[in-house]
Structure 1
Amino acid sequence: MTTADALAAPRSPRPAAPRRRGVNLEKWGWIYMRASGVVLIVLIFGHLFVNLMLGEGISGIDFGFVAGKLANPFWQWWDVLMLWLALIHGANGMRTITNDYVTNPTARKVLVWAIALSAAFLIILGTLVVFTFDPCIGVTPDSILWEQCRAAA
């Protein structure tokens, strides 16, 4: 057998790969990355605009500013949506990199599971923080928040 017989001619048609049944997760991951990227741009720049441009700017960001934002359900959902999209977007990107560069199947599986568990843990923890945040926990009479917390109680 000569080299010419072993190599196919350039641009010659290749036989079609057999189509697998079921959901194509790679395709949906690719679509998610594009869609979540567009939504994240809106969410992040909206977040930055409200925090840095409106009001007193960066000098106005303190515990009271954050407590006030997290007391409003609109900003709670805005921040939770941003958190969820960013963490899932980042975890999907790390999964893609792991699948591309880790050749050992066992190591790849362990790393992908570690990425998924880390993202899930951070999503749960972040969501709990946003929705259960109470600025009055642990406030003492000598705190600057004492009057506001006493009035709210």
Structure 2
Amino acid sequence: MTTTAPQIVPPRSRSSRGNFELNSWLFMRGSGLLLLVLVFGHLFVNLMLGEGITQIDFAFVAGKWANPFWQVWDLAMLWLAMLHGCNGLRTIINDYAAKPNSRFALKTLLYFGTAVVIVLGTLVIFTFDPCIDPKSTLDVCTMK
């Protein structure tokens, strides 16, 4: 029977990496619980209250995002979901990407994609203007 020797990972400041991994693990647990509350609250308000799924249209979103509470709610849901998913994929990349160059490239793409979605999502939430009609130059709310 043959056995293989365990792979030895070169140490790179174990204390700082250990703290990062511990904090990462704690973040996953905390963000997961908070995401459950945010997502089920989102689903309840959007689907169970009022007329259900038939009420969801442009006007529904415009009315919801007119309230800063719902902007912050959706922003927290976006940020936590993206950071939670990014952290999970980072762990998977660390576990399965054998070559350091592959690991670096995959993590770079992951971080770039996460940053783009977070920035664009945040811009959409805070710059959303329901009064702009994309088909004309008129401001629909004031009819200028």
- TM-score interval w.r.t. the shorter chain? 0.7 to 0.9
Tell me whether 1:150 sits opposite 2:134 in the alignment.
Answer: no
Deviation of the 1:140 alpha carbon:
6.2
Structure 2: gaps (5+ residues): 1-10
After superposing on structure 2, the runs of 4+ consecutive aligned residues of structure 1 that deviate more than 4 Å are: none
Q: Which segment drifts farther, 69-78 or 130-139?
A: 130-139
Q: Which has the larger radius of gyration?
A: 1
Match of 1:32 among 11, 27, 44: 27
Q: Percent identity?
A: 57
Deviation of the 1:138 alpha carbon:
2.2
Distance in structure 1 (CA, Å) of the matches to 2:106 and 2:133: 39
Deviation of the 1:150 alpha carbon:
2.5
Equivalent residue number for residue 83 of structure 2:
88
Distance in structure 2 (CA, Å) of the matches to 1:140 and 1:22: 54
Deviation of the 1:105 alpha carbon:
0.5
Distance in structure 1 (CA, Å) of the matches to 2:77 and 2:85: 12
Q: 1:6-17 maps to which residues of 2 (within 5 A)?
A: none
Partner amino acid for 1:32?
F
Deviation of the 1:27 alpha carbon:
0.8
Distance in structure 1 (CA, Å) of the matches to 2:77 and 2:107: 22
Partner amino acid for 1:40?
L
How does the TM-score come out when normalised to structure 1?
Answer: 0.78
Tell me whether 1:131 sits opposite 2:126 in the alignment.
Answer: yes
Deviation of the 1:110 alpha carbon:
1.1
Equivalent residue number for residue 59 of structure 1:
54
How many residue pairs are counted as aligned between the two chains?
Answer: 130
The root-mean-square deviation of aligned C-alpha atoms, in Å, is 2.2
How does the TM-score come out when normalised to structure 2?
Answer: 0.83
Equivalent residue number for residue 41 of structure 2:
46
